[in-house]
C-alpha cells in the first residue's frame, strides 16, 4: 500500500479486507443470512475506495456495492453504487472509530426499485471486529433495519 495521505489517516482503521457473517431483513422480504467480504483501500490519493460482495451461506452470490469515501469539511462524504441500478451520495460523521453515513441523494435507473434513504454505520469494536449496520427506507416503508454484519480483518 502506498503512503497514506494525511487526509486519510482518520480512516486508517477502516482500511483492509474484512470478512464475516451477517443477517438481513426488511418488511418486504424474508430474513436471510449472508457472508460479507468488504475491502476499503487507498493507493495514495485522498480518498478510500469501498468494494463489497456478499454471498448466501450456501455460496450463492448475492449483493455487491462499490464506491468512495473522502474526509471533507470535518466530516466524510461519499458515493455508493449498487448493481440494481441505484447510486447514492452520502454525508457522514466520524467519531473515533465509528463512521455514520446518511444518504443525501439517490438516483436510479428506470428498472430499479425505489429506495428513498439509506443509513449506514461502520464501527470498529474493541475486539478488533468491524460492525456494519444498514437501515433503509424503500418500497413504501420508512427507515427500517435491513442488514447487520460483524466482520474480521482478513488482509
Q: Does 19 bind its own copies (CB under 8 A)?
A: no
The answer for residues whose C-beta is within 8 angstroms of residue 22's C-beta and 6 or more apart is 33, 34, 35, 36, 54, 132, 147, 148, 149, 150
Report strand pairing: 48-56 vs 29-41. Answer: antiparallel
Stretch that binds its own copies, among 7-15, 101-109, 115-123, 141-149 (CB under 8 A): 101-109
Contacting its own copies within 37-96 (CB under 8 A): 43-45, 47, 49, 51, 53, 61-62, 64, 66-68, 70, 72-73, 77-83, 85-91
Cell of 79: 458515493
Q: Does 100 bind its own copies (CB under 8 A)?
A: no
Q: Does 109 bind its own copies (CB under 8 A)?
A: yes
Quickly list H helices, the chain: none
The answer for residues whose C-beta is within 8 angstroms of residue 96's C-beta and 6 or more apart is none
Residues that bind its own copies (CB under 8 A): 2, 43-45, 47, 49, 51, 53, 61-62, 64, 66-68, 70, 72-73, 77-83, 85-91, 104-111
Amino acid at each position: 500500500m502506498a503512503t497514506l495521505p494525511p487526509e486519510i489517516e482518520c480512516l486508517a482503521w477502516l482500511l483492509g479486507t474484512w470478512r464475516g457473517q451477517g443477517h438481513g431483513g426488511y418488511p418486504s422480504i424474508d430474513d436471510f443470512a449472508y457472508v460479507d467480504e468488504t475491502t476499503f483501500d487507498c493507493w495514495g490519493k485522498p480518498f478510500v475506495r469501498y468494494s463489497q460482495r456478499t454471498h448466501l451461506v450456501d455460496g450463492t452470490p448475492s449483493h455487491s456495492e462499490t464506491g468512495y469515501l473522502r474526509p471533507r469539511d470535518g466530516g466524510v462524504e461519499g458515493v455508493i453504487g449498487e448493481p440494481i441500478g441505484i447510486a447514492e451520495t452520502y454525508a457522514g460523521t466520524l467519531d473515533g472509530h465509528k463512521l455514520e453515513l446518511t444518504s443525501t441523494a439517490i438516483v436510479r435507473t428506470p428498472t430499479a426499485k425505489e429506495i428513498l434513504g439509506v443509513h449506514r454505520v461502520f464501527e470498529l469494536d474493541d475486539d478488533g471486529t468491524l460492525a456494519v449496520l444498514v437501515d433503509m427506507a424503500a418500497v413504501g416503508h420508512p427507515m427500517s433495519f435491513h442488514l447487520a454484519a460483524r466482520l474480521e480483518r482478513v488482509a
